[in-house]
Structure 1
């Protein structure tokens, strides 16, 4: 009897020890699974945290670069159009047009005075033009207008060359800082070109208005502002606006700071080693 009781007590002790071992094994497995999930969660958090600044560093500069490119294209288009209008205004003979006032109501012919020639247009549609014989015989405003309009056209061509060399669509210059300065220089040159053509236009218009209201000038000598002056004013507006856009296209407010290049983030595996995909 005593031997049987000892055997039963031994079996009970073995069963209790096995139960405690199984419980300890389950707890250790649960703890290991929790730690693994935490490590994975930490890896994902680290990945997301490392990915967020990359998004911030790439999305905003790209949008600003697109805005700068649009401003550059718009400014260049306006400036090229303005330069072409300057050349057209320089060649047109319609700077001064005959004024039909008082007894000078003669509709049979119209007189145009330009920088290079004078034209007489008949009512039948025939037109006769004569080039100015002597440059020194011209008035002071005409001589100044000739010189400044030609200078404005040449400066516009130089500005176009400079702007295209520093534009984003070309690879003439590799450094972004130098390209920004070159485009800014092109915008400034276009503004100077607009100011060059603005001076003779305003001077000529002022002389026409003063002579028109001067009673000592006979009605046959009075003139009105012609279409070439209005075209020149439109060209000046386009040059000034386009040059301003070119100067603003590469400003820090539009482009922002230069994008920060982040190094690729290295993740750590559960074994404590670096991920091998970064070494491929």
Structure 2
């Protein structure tokens, strides 16, 4: 019963992590305009994501534009696209594997195989968490580095967007879920207790009457 509860909790954490990955992949808020110095009051703000760049007017209108060419993008954005998509696919596959091999489902009836299936799902979640943490950390490092670049003006500086923090949270949740599955996915011991049975090789000889 305890193993089933842990697996259900890990599945909830995995679903939350998957939602975070989807948000990071779709929402264009990896970098946002920085309002510092004389740039406190502006008529518009800029946002950058993996696929589009958007301009938000002070009236609330938002205009987005897709990046023209994949080859013109920087290495960080190309890698972030690939790693985020692979992370989402790995998370989906891990959740499906965990659901099939969990103790609270009957998809797999062999009790000896279920811990192995849960272990595979845990490794997949660990991989998905690492793959989503790498691009957001890379983006955050480059954004902070460019922010303190003295060659840039205040109007061209960018700050960390919401997706960076969502990506970190999603990665941590997946790492926790994967770690728990790897720790608690152990084969169940048989209830026989390992009692050894001894058999006598000697057969009782029939009684013979001698005259």
TM-score for the superposition, normalised by structure 2 = 0.87
- Structure 1 residues 246-261: aligned runs within 5 Å: 246-251=181-186, 257-260=189-192
Q: Is the 8 A contact 2:3 2:103 kept in 1?
A: no
Q: CA deviation at 1:159?
A: 0.7
CA distance in 1, matches of 2:152, 2:69: 24
Corresponding residue for residue 24 of structure 2: 89
Cα deviation, residue 107, structure 1: 2.2
1:76 and 2:11 are equivalent in the alignment:
yes
Decide which structure has greater helix share: 1
Asked whether the equivalents of residues 46 and 56 of structure 2 are also in contact (C-alpha less than 8 Å), the reply is yes
SS of the residue 1:188 aligns to: helix
Match of 2:154 in 1: 219
- Verify: 1:169 aligned to 2:104, yes or no: yes
User: Does the CA contact (< 8 Å) of 2:122 and 2:182 recur in 1?
Assistant: yes
The partner residue of 2:79 within 136, 141, 144 is: 144
Q: Deviations over 1:29-71 (max 9, x none)?
A: xxxxxxxxxxxxxxxxxxxxxxxxxxxxxxxxxxxxx111111
Following superposition, the deviation at residue 126 of structure 1 comes to 0.8
Give me the whole-angstrom Cα distance separating, in 2, the residues matched to 1:135 and 1:104: 31
Alignment: residue pair count = 194
Residues 164-203 of structure 1 mapped to structure 2, 5 A cutoff: 164-203=99-138
Greater shift, 150-159 or 101-110, is seen at 101-110
Q: Distance in 2 between matches of 1:115 and 1:244?
A: 29
Structure 1: distance between partners of 2:75 and 2:152: 18
Q: Which protein shows a greater Rg?
A: 1
Report the CA distance between 1:158 and its aligned residue: 1.0
- Shift of residue 247, structure 1, vs aligned partner: 1.8
- 1:87-166, aligned counterparts within 5 Å? 87-166=22-101
* Preserved CA contact (<8 Å) 2:17 2:173: yes
Q: Say if 1:187 and 1:245, in contact at 8 Å, map to a contact too.
A: yes
Alignment check: 8 A CA contact 2:143 2:160 kept: yes
Partner residue in 2 for 1:205: 140
**Structure 1 ranges of 4+ moved more than 3 A:** none
Using the alignment, how far apart are the partners of 2:36 and 2:114 within structure 1? 56
Distance 1:129 1:259 in 2: 63
1:215 Cα deviation (Å)? 0.5
TM-score normalised according to structure 1 size: 0.66
Distance 2:181 2:90 in 1: 16
Q: Distance in 1 between matches of 2:101 and 2:152?
A: 52
